[in-house]
């Protein structure tokens, strides 16, 4: 299973973090710092795989963002590259020519899309179109301001 | 990689949505509450310093806190979203935890959605607040809207504690059976999480998991395969059960491989590579150690291996998983060969990633399919020269695993080349790998010594501490290479004295074999022509250099001292060096110098014996560690013994006589017993030091050691002396002397003892007995007699005398009483 998924900029600013195992806040911060430094230090045309502690790190750079995840030893690294690519495609479909700003200003949407694609560190949906459809339909449930205020509170 | 990069660009102009103006306009028109979130993000990003950012965030957090306390005004979800953004920047957000709990319980979808997101980010099983959402999750699992159900499932799978999992497992099982595909696939992965947290619950999900394999929906199928994999990995019985579904899995896989183009699932020509890989992984687990299962998947694996297009990553990923499966199950040999060939092909791929994973896989099978991997050795060795550090590391591991007696010479050349240019973080590992390989497969001692020297010159700073004593031990055993070694090391020393390990070995050799160095002759290599002064200069440079560590300086001082018996002209220079260091600040050096001084002054007659050439060091003896420790203890004993000696006034003449007797006379058993401690820092610490101790201690006991003649023939005399005797053992020394006109050569002594007695013969001091009784050969024998039988020994003596080979047997029925 995937242990975590991180998105960070070339300057090392975190844009998204998804953890699939429990852990203390301090420990997570340390992991982010270590992995970010390690990945950012890699020269341009390097191999996309690293060994770190007991995990395999797979990362791919898309424009100004690094997509990086930590895998367990039995996971398939090449497939994970495809997973990262698929996630980028899903974001692109949703936002239309996605860029880093989209992910910054709509981070919650990025999480919602991720949650339709991966769950518990495993792939949830392999179809290219299903995730987009689910997002659209969920959005119809999002109330407008009026509906929102008119609904009874608890 | 020939992947199409998506047009992600970071351009302010292109995305007007996020400009100051557009956000401001939207805020003015109150278009959407989320603008307030985006407004905050914009303000935070506008901060020019860390301090300014902190200030903005503190204000925002205060506002958010206040909002949380207020009555509902429709902004709660946005406030929590703001808090989550702040949290992602690294600021504390724990005060939002209760708000998450509240929002999750809200009937509004917006609020639920953000509440659950907040729970996944801020709550984990270690927080108490997480238990509070269990009830909400339970309710939402039965909600009428699948999107609400989905939120609950997702959150449970993300941060559900063991307790929550136990509580909600029956619900999940229900959803696995009776719901639509959208929920089923999520329930499946939720079940996976539950099984990971509470393995006993696996039994609960097994029937449902089995049923899911007949679903058509890829998402559900994928979830089912993951769940079954998890169940099988945790429970042997479940694994047995699921072996029956191998045919079904094979069918599904075949369907995927041979299906036509499906736009929904197609990735670079492969139909749903994600599902294919998971099925292959499950097949691997089911086929492992089971012939039947392995047989039934054989054809499929062959088909996938041959038909999958690996020009893009997706195809390579599937092929990779196929290879791993083939190698792990009981596949037939043809299939295995096919798999290794695929890996070989991967090795030649332009894509670094593929080369990398090929080597990781080869590493896994190098033990079991060694020959197959050897075929690709050339390519692997080429990868040592790759630019990429990850690829280099893999290539190194694999190369070290491929070393064998056959390829040692050529492979070592490559490894040494690699060592000289490899990244610093790999040097220590490479050096130790080279040493291990050299030790196991060295074709000759000279090659072995050369290799170690090469490593020390290239990467001497990265080798482990044991290298120095190990190398010295090796050098002593290569008796015919002493001349070669000392000339080579001298050259290395005068070139560069910065590498401590090399300098230490060089000093030791020069001290030991300085006489060979000074002859200026050497067969195997070009000899150096040096004078005694040159050699002493070199050692003094090491002594005085700031680059030399204290240990190194110790080596140099002792070597200088040893040379006093190997050179003829400059002994005075050595005397003065030694006396200067008698007041050195370093206590270790000072102590040595003082003792060496004493050796010059009071014990000059013993100096030759004390500093004699060391015998071959036995690798297995207990003191064979880094010289430091063993040397230390014996050293401490030294000075006290010396002072004792000084205090004893009685019979000084006798003492001297005894010492002379023990040391000097021909035929007298002077036996430098082989060193029990392999200190290499100086003879004073070693056996001869032991001798010193013994001699001094033994002054209380006056008679000379009893010695029994056990063989006398052809001018060769063999005497036996008991050094030590206990209830269960005995140490004896055999001494051979020669009274003929010519040297006796090729002397060997072999011994046999009764069955229950254990015998250990130490290395003899030599195999040539000089003529006219001018020298002798000694050999120590250790006998261990645990059953306390009566000790007898038979000794076979073989030697060549004046060209004729002589061989005799001697029976020894009684042993003399031991010496002190």
pLDDT tens-digit series, residues B534-562 = 888 889 999 888 888 989 999 999 998 98
State residue B713 phi and psi, 5-degree precision: -165, 145
Alpha-carbon span B280 to B324, nearest angstrom: 9
pLDDT > 70 fraction of chain A, expressed in percent and rounded: 92
Residue B647 has pLDDT above 80, yes or no: no
Residues B269-281, mean pLDDT to the nearest whole number: 95
What kind and span of H or E run contains B497?
none
Residue A65 has pLDDT above 90, yes or no: yes
The strands making up A14-19's β-sheet, listed across from edge to edge, are A14-19, A2-9, A65-71, A55-62, A49-52
B212-216, B377-381, B743-747: range with lowest mean pLDDT: B743-747
Q: Is the CB of residue B716 less than 8 Å from the CB of residue B736?
A: yes
Alpha-carbon span B775 to B626, nearest angstrom: 33
Beta bridge partners of A60: A67
Alpha-carbon span B193 to B199, nearest angstrom: 10
Nearest by CB to residue B313, choosing from A78, A104, A151, is A78
Query: Could you give the ipTM of this predicted complex?
Result: 0.95
pLDDT in tens, A125-146: 999 999 999 999 998 887 665 5
Residue B602 has pLDDT above 50, yes or no: yes
Residue B685 has pLDDT above 60, yes or no: no
Q: Is the CB of residue B688 less than 8 Å from the CB of residue B677?
A: no
Sign of the Cα torsion B327, B331, B333, B338 reads: negative
pLDDT band at B758 (very low <50, low <70, confident <90, very high): confident
Amino acid B681: pLDDT: 41
pLDDT band at B620 (very low <50, low <70, confident <90, very high): low
Interface of A with B in 72-111 (CB under 8 A): 74, 76-79, 81-83, 85-86, 88-89, 92, 97-102, 104-105, 107-108, 111
B619 min Cα distance to partner chain A (Å): 36
Does A64 contact B at CB distance below 8 Å?
Answer: yes
B39-48, B353-362, B731-740: range with lowest mean pLDDT: B731-740
A-chain CB neighbours of B225 within 8 Å are: none
A43 min Cα distance to partner chain B (Å): 9
A-chain CB neighbours of B85 within 8 Å are: 107
Sign of the Cα torsion B655, B659, B665, B668 reads: positive
Greater confidence, B219 or B794? B219
Task: Give CA torsion, residues B430, B434, B437, B441, to 10 deg.
Answer: 160
Q: Which residue of B has its CA nearest to A134?
A: B147
DSSP B299: H
Residue B692 has pLDDT above 50, yes or no: no
A-chain CB neighbours of B107 within 8 Å are: 151-152, 154
B129 min Cα distance to partner chain A (Å): 15
Instruction: Say if the Cβ atoms of A101 and B15 lie within 8 Å.
Output: yes
Does A38 contact B at CB distance below 8 Å?
Answer: no
Greater confidence, B623 or B248? B248
Q: Is the CB of residue B278 less than 8 Å from the CB of residue B226?
A: yes
Residue B696 has pLDDT above 60, yes or no: no
Instruction: Say if the Cβ atoms of A138 and B281 lie within 8 Å.
Output: no
The β-bridge relationship of strands B716-726 and B758-761 is: unpaired
The token pair that represents A77 in the structure block: 């690294």
Alpha-carbon span A81 to A67, nearest angstrom: 10
pLDDT band at B648 (very low <50, low <70, confident <90, very high): very low
CB pairs under 8 A between A and B: 201
Interface of A with B in 127-146 (CB under 8 A): 127-130, 134, 137-138, 141-143, 145
B331 min Cα distance to partner chain A (Å): 20
Beta bridge partners of B580: none
Residue B37 has pLDDT above 60, yes or no: yes
Does A37 contact B at CB distance below 8 Å?
Answer: no
The β-bridge relationship of strands B716-726 and B708-713 is: antiparallel
Q: Which of A125, A151, A152 should we substitute to test contact with B (largest number of B Cβ atoms within 10 Å)? A: A125
Alpha-carbon span B718 to A53, nearest angstrom: 64
pLDDT > 90 fraction of chain B, expressed in percent and rounded: 36
Highest mean pLDDT among A38-42, B602-606, B670-674, B766-770: A38-42
Amino acid B757: pLDDT: 85
Amino acid A125: pLDDT: 96
DSSP B718: E
Q: Is the CB of residue B253 less than 8 Å from the CB of residue B280?
A: yes
Instruction: Say if the Cβ atoms of A81 and B320 lie within 8 Å.
Output: no
- The rounded mean pLDDT for chain B is 82
- In DSSP notation, A12-63 reads --EEEEEESS---HHHHHHHHHHHHHHHHTS-TT--SEEEETTEEEEEEEET
pLDDT in tens, B98-135: 999 999 999 889 899 999 999 999 988 777 788 889 99
B-chain CB neighbours of A104 within 8 Å are: 41, 45
The size of chain A, in residues, is: 154
Residues A90-100, mean pLDDT to the nearest whole number: 94
A101 min Cα distance to partner chain B (Å): 7
């Amino acid at each position: 299973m995937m242990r975590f998924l991180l998105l960070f900029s070339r300057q090392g600013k975190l844009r998204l973090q998804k953890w699939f195992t429990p852990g203390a806040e301090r420990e997570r911060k340390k992991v982010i710092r270590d992995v970010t430094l390690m990945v950012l230090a890699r020269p341009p045309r390097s191999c996309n795989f690293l060994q770190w502690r007991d995990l395999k790190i797979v990362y791919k750079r898309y424009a100004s963002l690094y997509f990086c995840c930590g895998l367990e030893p039995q996971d398939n690294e090449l497939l994970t590259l495809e997973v990262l690519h698929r996630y980028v495609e899903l974001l692109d479909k949703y936002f239309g020519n996605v860029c880093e700003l989209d992910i910054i200003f709509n981070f919650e949407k990025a999480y919602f899309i991720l949650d339709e694609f991966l769950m518990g560190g495993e792939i949830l949906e392999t179809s290219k179109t299903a995730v987009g459809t689910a997002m659209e339909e969920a959005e119809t449930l999002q109330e407008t301001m009026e509906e929102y205020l008119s609904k009874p509170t608890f | 990689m020939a992947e199409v990069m998506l047009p992600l660009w970071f351009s302010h102009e292109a995305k007007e949505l996020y400009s100051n103006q557009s956000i401001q306009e939207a805020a003015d028109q109150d278009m959407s509450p989320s603008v307030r979130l985006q407004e905050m993000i914009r303000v935070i990003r506008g901060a020019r310093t860390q301090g300014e950012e902190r200030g903005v965030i503190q204000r925002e957090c205060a506002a958010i806190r206040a909002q949380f306390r207020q009555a509902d005004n429709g902004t709660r979800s946005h406030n929590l979203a703001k808090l989550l953004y702040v949290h992602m920047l690294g600021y504390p957000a724990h005060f939002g935890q209760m708000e998450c709990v509240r929002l999750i319980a809200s009937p509004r979808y917006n609020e639920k959605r953000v509440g659950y997101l907040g729970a996944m980010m801020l709550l984990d099983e270690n927080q108490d607040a997480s238990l509070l959402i269990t009830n909400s999750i339970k309710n939402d699992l039965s909600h009428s809207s699948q999107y609400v159900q989905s939120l609950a499932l997702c959150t449970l799978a993300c941060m559900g504690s063991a307790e929550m999992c136990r509580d909600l497992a029956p619900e999940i099982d229900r959803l696995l059976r009776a719901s639509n595909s959208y929920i089923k696939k999520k329930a499946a992965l939720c079940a996976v999480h539950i099984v990971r947290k509470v393995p006993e619950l696996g039994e609960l999900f097994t029937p449902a998991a089995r049923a899911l394999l007949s679903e058509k929906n890829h998402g559900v199928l994928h979830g089912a395969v993951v769940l079954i994999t998890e169940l099988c990995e945790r429970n042997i019985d479940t694994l047995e059960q699921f072996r029956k579904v191998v045919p079904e899995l094979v069918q599904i896989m075949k369907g995927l491989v041979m299906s036509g183009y499906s736009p929904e699932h197609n990735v670079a020509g492969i139909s749903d590579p994600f599902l294919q890989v998971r099925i292959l992984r499950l097949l691997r687990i089911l086929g492992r150690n089971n012939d039947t299962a392995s047989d039934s998947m054989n054809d499929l694996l062959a088909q996938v291996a041959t038909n999958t297009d690996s020009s893009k990553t997706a195809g390579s990923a599937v092929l990779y998983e196929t290879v791993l499966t083939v190698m792990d199950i009981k596949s037939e040999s043809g299939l295995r060969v096919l798999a290794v060939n695929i890996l070989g092909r991967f090795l030649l791929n332009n894509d670094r990633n593929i080369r990398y994973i090929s080597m990781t896989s080869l590493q896994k099978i190098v033990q079991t399919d060694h020959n197959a991997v050897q075929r690709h050795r050339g390519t692997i060795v080429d990868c040592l020269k790759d630019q990429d550090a990850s690829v280099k590391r893999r290539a190194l591991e694999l190369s070290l695993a491929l070393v064998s007696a056959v390829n040692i010479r050529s492979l070592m050349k490559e490894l040494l080349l690699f060592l000289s240019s490899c990244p610093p973080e790999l040097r220590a590992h490479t050096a130790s790998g080279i040493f291990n390989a050299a030790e196991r497969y060295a074709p000759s001692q000279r090659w072995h010594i050369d290799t170690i020297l090469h490593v020390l010159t290239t990467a001497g700073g990265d080798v482990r501490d044991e290298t120095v004593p190990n190398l010295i031990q090796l050098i002593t055993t290569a008796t015919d290479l002493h001349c070669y070694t000392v000339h080579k090391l001298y050259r290395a020393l005068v070139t560069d004295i910065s590498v401590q390990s090399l300098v230490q070995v060089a000093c030791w050799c020069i001290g030991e074999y300085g006489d060979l160095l000074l002859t200026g002759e050497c067969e195997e290599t070009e000899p150096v022509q040096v004078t005694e002064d040159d050699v002493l200069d070199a050692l003094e440079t090491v002594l005085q250099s700031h680059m030399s560590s204290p240990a190194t300086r110790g080596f140099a001082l002792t070597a200088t001292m040893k040379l006093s018996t190997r050179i003829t002209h400059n002994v005075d220079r050595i005397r003065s060096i030694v006396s200067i260091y008698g007041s050195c600040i370093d206590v270790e050096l000072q102590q040595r110098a003082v003792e060496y001084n004493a050796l010059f002054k009071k014990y000059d007659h013993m100096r030759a014996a004390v500093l004699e050439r060391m015998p071959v060091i036995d690798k297995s003896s207990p003191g064979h560690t880094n010289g430091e420790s063993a040397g230390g203890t014996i050293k401490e004993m030294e000075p006290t013994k010396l002072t004792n000696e000084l205090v004893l006034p009685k019979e000084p003449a006798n003492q001297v006589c005894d010492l002379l007797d023990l040391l000097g006379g021909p035929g007298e058993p002077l036996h430098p017993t082989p060193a029990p401690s392999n200190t290499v820092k100086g003879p004073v610490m070693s056996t001869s030091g032991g001798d010193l101790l013994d001699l001094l201690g033994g002054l209380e006991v006056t008679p000379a050691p009893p010695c029994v003649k056990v063989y006398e023939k052809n001018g060769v005399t063999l005497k036996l002396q008991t050094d030590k005797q206990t209830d269960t053992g005995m140490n004896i020394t055999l001494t051979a002397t020669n009274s003929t006109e010519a040297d006796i050569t090729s002397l060997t002594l072999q011994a046999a003892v009764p069955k229950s007695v254990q015998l250990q013969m130490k290395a003899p001091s030599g195999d040539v007995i000089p003529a006219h009784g001018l020298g002798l050969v000694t050999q120590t024998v250790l006998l261990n007699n645990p059953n306390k039988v009566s000790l007898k020994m038979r000794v076979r003596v073989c030697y060549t005398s004046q060209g004729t080979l002589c061989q005799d047997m001697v029976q020894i029925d009684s042993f003399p009483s031991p010496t002190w």
